Amino acid sequence: MDIKLSPSKLKGMITAQPSKSDAHRKLICAAFANGISTIDNVFLSDDIKATLRCISSAGASYDIRRSSFYTGRACIKVLGTNGRCIEERNADCGESGSTLRFMSMIFSVAGGRTELTGHGRLPIRPMDGAIDLFKRNNICHAYPGDGKFLPLVINGEINSGEHEIDSSVTSQYLSGLLMGLPAFSKQGKIFATGQFESKGYVDVTIEVLREFGVIIKGVNPYIIPVNSGFDAIKTSVQGDWSNASYFHVMKALGADIEIIGLKNDSKQPDAAILKNVKIVMETDSPVIDVSECPDIMPSLSVIGAALNKTLKITGGRRLRAKESDRLSSVAAGLAGLGVDVVELNDGIEIYGNGVIKGGEIDACSDHRIAMAFASLCVVSKGDIIIKGADSVSKSYPLFFDDLKKLGGIIA
């Protein structure tokens, strides 16, 4: 689907989208808890649906109802398995990297046979950290090769003990083990190896585990307690700083909007959007390192493009293995709007001249590219056409509806 955004004056209040990161983790922990957990304020994006399919394949059941407290959101009751898992399962992870990485770890701890599948770019997103762990634990595994990791079949079991996991590409395998070992009452120590980035997302995992009654001690190694297991709980999903970043961009560029529903002391790494927007707006030649918050790189890039200054973004090497190669996608999109830009090995340098003329950009089937460039409707002198705008369904299906409510002119 292609859309056209005309220059728009935005005004109003926006409630932050529920956090995908928080929801994934809470649904997974609930799936293996002892009893019925209630998780409110869930938005049923494509990625969250993928996690629901996977926990169902493990033997958990769930009931989705309309939230009575959060307008337009779901409340999900999950009947946990009390630390058990169906012996053979087929897990369709859709296009969700989080689902794939979490569930590959959890199913490997559960034991038995698992076939993991996925769509879009997911089969070619790196899984070396998981494969290395499987080899060290003598877990049988098979995948197509030729640059593809899916479908991935694993057969075997990770037991209690000490485990090392490469966290240089993603911390999601580490988070998966942190959830997987206590889910099946296994103890141990987990060491993150490599250039450990996105530690903030591990902190999000530890915070969720604490809600479900599991206290992780230590930091690298992370120590899993003996005979843990998950308690069933009632909880709500936090507001999402990642998807709120686009509205913070609009606000910084002159939109008269208020963003509510965010936890100011959240462990979510993308809460750094506030600090980084301030740096970009108030520094002559800002340099931003996004190694701990890569998902807000597109948001920061479009701010830089709209200002009369040079913005350099570094620490983004992992962005090449997202739903698109985000460094290339952002660079191409900015060039399409008449902005001078240089793509770096691990980042991007943007030479803004204070003018966004309008033009056409390709979202490259990437939700974050579509939403970031849509933010420029606040300052663009002409129409912005976004090709593949329906990619927002991956995390925020109602993004353009919410934009219209603020006064966005969309055709």
Q: Tens of pLDDT along 84-99?
A: 999 999 999 999 999 9
- Residue 27: per-residue pLDDT: 98
- Residue 286: per-residue pLDDT: 97
Is residue 355's pLDDT more than 90? yes
42 touches 70 (CB < 8 A)? no
> With b meaning 16 or more CB within 10 Å and e meaning fewer, what string describes 200-235?
bbbbbbbbbbebbbbebeeeeebebbeebbbebbeb
pLDDT digits (tens, 9 = 90+) for 305-341: 999 999 999 999 989 989 999 999 999 999 999 999 9
- Residue 168: per-residue pLDDT: 84
3-state secondary structure the chain: CCEEEECCCCEEEEECCECHHHHHHHHHHHHCEECEEEEEEECCCHHHHHHHHHHHHHCCEEEEEECCCCCCCEEEEEECCCCCCCCEEEEECCCCHHHHHHHHHHHHHHCCEEEEECCCCHHHCCCHHHHHHHHHCCCEEECCECCECCCEEEECCCCCEEEEEECCCCCHHHHHHHHHHHHCCCCEEEEEECCCCCHHHHHHHHHHHHHCCCCCECCCCEEECCCCCEECCEEECCECHHHHHHHHHHHHCCCEEEEECCCCCCCCHHHHHHHHHHHHHHCCCCEEECCCCHHHHHHHHHHHHHCCCEEEEECCHHHHHCCCCHHHHHHHHHHHCCCEEEECCCCEEEECCCCCCCEEEECCCCHHHHHHHHHHHHCCCCCEEEECHHHHHHCCCCHHHHHHHCCCEEC
Q: Average pLDDT in the 105-129 region?
A: 96
**For residue 289, what are the β-bridge partners?**
314
Contact partners, residue 97, CB within 8 Å, separation at least 6 = 122, 125, 170, 172, 322, 323
- Residue 227: per-residue pLDDT: 83
The two three-digit tokens of residue 289, written as one number: 């390192």
Is residue 74's pLDDT more than 90? yes
How far is it, in rounded angstroms, from Cα 96 to Cα 394?
A: 8
Average pLDDT, the chain: 95
- Residue 195: per-residue pLDDT: 82
Is residue 196's pLDDT more than 90? no
- Residue 321: per-residue pLDDT: 85
Integer CA distances (angstroms), 4 to 44, 154, 259, 373, in order: 26, 45, 24, 11
Is residue 107's pLDDT more than 80? yes
- Residue 354: per-residue pLDDT: 93
Is residue 198's pLDDT more than 80? no
User: Where residue 194 falls among pLDDT bands split at 50, 70, 90?
Assistant: confident
- Residue 125: per-residue pLDDT: 92
Is residue 275's pLDDT more than 80? yes
Is residue 197's pLDDT more than 80? no
How far is it, in rounded angstroms, from Cα 191 to Cα 129?
A: 13
Q: What percent of the chain has pLDDT over 90?
A: 93
Is residue 112's pLDDT more than 90? yes
φ, ψ dihedrals at 370, nearest 5°: -60, -45
Is residue 295 among the annotated active site residues? Answer: yes
- Residue 365: per-residue pLDDT: 95
pLDDT digits (tens, 9 = 90+) for 282-307: 999 999 999 999 999 999 999 999 99
User: Where residue 234 falls among pLDDT bands split at 50, 70, 90?
Assistant: very high
- CB neighbours of residue 315 within 10 Å: 17
pTM comes to: 0.89
Annotated catalytic residue, options 295, 362, 366, 402:
295
Question: What structural domains does the chain harbor?
Answer: 3-16+239-410 (3.65.10.10), 20-228 (3.65.10.10)
Is residue 192's pLDDT more than 90? yes
User: Where residue 30 falls among pLDDT bands split at 50, 70, 90?
Assistant: very high
Q: Average pLDDT in the 382-395 region?
A: 95
394 touches 47 (CB < 8 A)? yes
Q: What percent of the chain has pLDDT over 70?
A: 100
The two three-digit tokens of residue 214, written as one number: 């599991």
